[in-house]
């Protein structure tokens, strides 16, 4: 299997339907320009109708199938969310019935959206791979399986983003793309390698789902049984031989970023660009703002691949991001267990304008003496400086206090 620039140009013609696939805009960000010393042009792929780039590949495949002699009347797919919505919309527009298998822990918002686009949704397994294995058992003589990334027509559809980038930002020096199964970057890489070989292409994975560095090191596609990342859109646990070969031959660098960095950059994008980007899309900004890339003076296009962030996931990401900034912390204050102590410490916190989310007593710790306790406050502050001022004030009043970020994985 191979993907050519001709395949991608044909995909662009098939996808010329604004009701399904939009040419997404490029936006500027002076804040990012100043922060990284480069000219940043954001590819706003989260503004697709389904909230991600996935509709491109799915519609290309199904539109081509419609124009062939195939007799299939239905499609089957597996997805953690974005591919599901893309296939559901594409199938409905192309006149196919669709059955989508999603992991049981898929975000409810993505499950509901997939059904709203016309799919019959089945929940199976705990991971994307388990869902995909089950989906393949549902394929029969009247249906076709639409893989999320291991399909030349899917890759060609995603590659239309590369054509748009080169048209919109012809002087681009560096393009940054998130990697899950590799379909998106494989398509974009095919375009850049053919039409702009001097442009650097950088792929990004989450640390907890980083299969590409292992694959490149071992010389063949690798998979992992357990994927741990808040970026569920790229939590595939593996890549395909098709996408591996293209990444190996046409991608210049592959970086990894932590969940903490991803969460921080979801928050950054909300605050500074007013865009709600899911974890997968925020990986490109995490890489951009890290010290892993030399981009000073470059014109850089990070692809914001999706914006399907459920409110539950948003709360998790915000908690993680605020904790990393020391804006959401737990204070543990050693007190004499007597009336008035909570009021006195609460007053100190109030003096500094911080908000108390909740407070609890701890009396059973083995190191506590008789008549002693810990008061644990969960508070929101404006950042490190205000947190330190509050702690100093509590200590100045004679209390022993320690603190930690609200997120257990981030010690303050």
pLDDT tens, 298-356? 999 999 999 998 888 888 888 877 887 778 899 999 999 999 999 999 999 999 999 99
Same domain, 193 and 263: yes
Domain that residue 365 falls in: 326-405
Q: H or E stretch including 196?
A: none
- Residue 406 has a pLDDT of 54
Structure token pair of residue 341 = 């102590």
**16 is a domain residue:** yes
Same domain, 44 and 89: no
Same domain, 98 and 217: no
Same domain, 218 and 180: yes
Where a domain ends, among 321, 342, 367? Answer: 321
Q: Could you give the number of structural domains in the chain?
A: 3
Q: How many CB atoms within 10 Å of residue 217?
A: 9
Same domain, 261 and 361: no
Q: H or E stretch including 235?
A: none
- Averaging pLDDT over each range in 55-59, 71-75, 354-358, which range is the top one? 55-59
**410 is a domain residue:** no
What's the CATH code of the domain at 330?
Answer: 3.30.70.260
- Give, in order, the Cα–Cα distances in Å from 290 to each of 35, 276, 338: 10, 20, 48
Same domain, 185 and 271: yes
At 300 the three-state DSSP class reads: strand
Where a domain ends, among 267, 294, 321? Answer: 321
Same domain, 135 and 213: no
**412 is a domain residue:** no
**190 is a domain residue:** yes
Same domain, 200 and 273: yes
**173 is a domain residue:** yes
Pick from 243, 43, 80: nearest CA to 156: 243
Pick from 238, 242, 212, 213: nearest CA to 226: 238
Structure token pair of residue 204 = 């990004």
Same domain, 46 and 187: yes
Same domain, 88 and 175: no
- Residue 182 has a pLDDT of 97
Q: What whole-number distance in Å separates Cα of residue 315 and Cα of residue 320? A: 9
Q: How many CB atoms within 10 Å of residue 410?
A: 16
pLDDT tens, 145-204? 999 999 999 999 999 999 999 999 999 999 999 999 999 999 999 999 999 999 999 999
Same domain, 290 and 401: no
Structure token pair of residue 217 = 């090191």
SS3 readout for 68-131: CCCCCCEEEEECCCHHHHHHHHHHHHHCCEEEEEECCCCCHHHHHHHHHCCCEEEECCCCHHHH
Where a domain ends, among 128, 145, 162? Answer: 145
Same domain, 43 and 70: no
- Residue 238 has a pLDDT of 92
What's the CATH code of the domain at 79?
Answer: 3.40.50.1100
- Residue 326 has a pLDDT of 78
């Amino acid at each position: 299997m191979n993907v050519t620039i001709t395949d991608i140009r044909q995909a662009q013609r098939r996808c010329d339907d604004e009701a399904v696939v939009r040419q997404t805009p490029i936006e500027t960000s002076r804040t990012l320009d100043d922060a990284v010393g480069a000219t940043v042009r954001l590819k706003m792929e989260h503004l697709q109708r389904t909230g991600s780039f996935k509709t491109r590949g799915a519609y290309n495949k199904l539109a081509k199938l419609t124009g062939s002699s195939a007799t299939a009347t239905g499609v089957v797919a597996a997805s953690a969310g974005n591919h599901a919505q893309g296939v559901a919309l594409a199938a409905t527009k192309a006149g196919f019935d669709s059955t989508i298998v999603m992991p049981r822990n898929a975000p409810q918002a993505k499950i509901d959206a997939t059904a709203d686009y016309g799919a019959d949704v089945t929940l199976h397994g705990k991971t994307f791979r388990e869902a995909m294995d089950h989906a393949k058992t549902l394929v029969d003589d009247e249906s076709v399986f639409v893989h999320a990334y291991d399909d030349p027509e899917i890759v060609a559809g995603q590659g239309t983003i590369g054509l748009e980038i080169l048209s919109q930002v012809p002087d681009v020096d560096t393009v940054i793309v998130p990697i899950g199964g590799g379909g998106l970057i494989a398509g974009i890489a095919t375009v850049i390698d053919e039409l702009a070989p001097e442009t650097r292409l950088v792929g990004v994975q989450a640390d907890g789902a980083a299969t590409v560095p292992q694959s490149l090191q071992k010389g063949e596609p690798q998979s992992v049984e357990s994927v741990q990342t808040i970026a569920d859109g790229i939590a595939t646990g593996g890549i395909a031989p098709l996408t591996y070969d293209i990444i190996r031959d046409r991608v210049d660098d592959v970086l990894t970023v932590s969940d903490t960095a991803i969460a921080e950059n979801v928050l950054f994008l909300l605050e500074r660009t007013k865009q709600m980007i899911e974890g997968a899309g925020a990986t490109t900004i995490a890489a951009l703002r890290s010290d892993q890339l030399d981009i000073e003076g470059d014109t850089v296009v990070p692809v914001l691949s999706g914006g399907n962030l459920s409110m539950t996931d948003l709360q998790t990401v915000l908690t993680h991001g605020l904790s990393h900034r020391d804006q959401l912390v737990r204070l543990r204050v050693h007190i004499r267990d007597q009336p008035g102590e909570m009021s006195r410490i609460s007053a100190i916190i109030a003096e500094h304008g911080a908000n108390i989310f909740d407070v609890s007593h701890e009396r059973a710790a083995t190191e506590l003496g008789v008549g002693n306790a810990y008061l644990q406050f969960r508070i929101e502050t404006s950042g490190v400086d205000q947190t330190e001022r509050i702690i100093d004030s509590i200590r100045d009043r004679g209390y022993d206090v320690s603190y930690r970020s609200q997120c257990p994985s981030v010690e303050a």
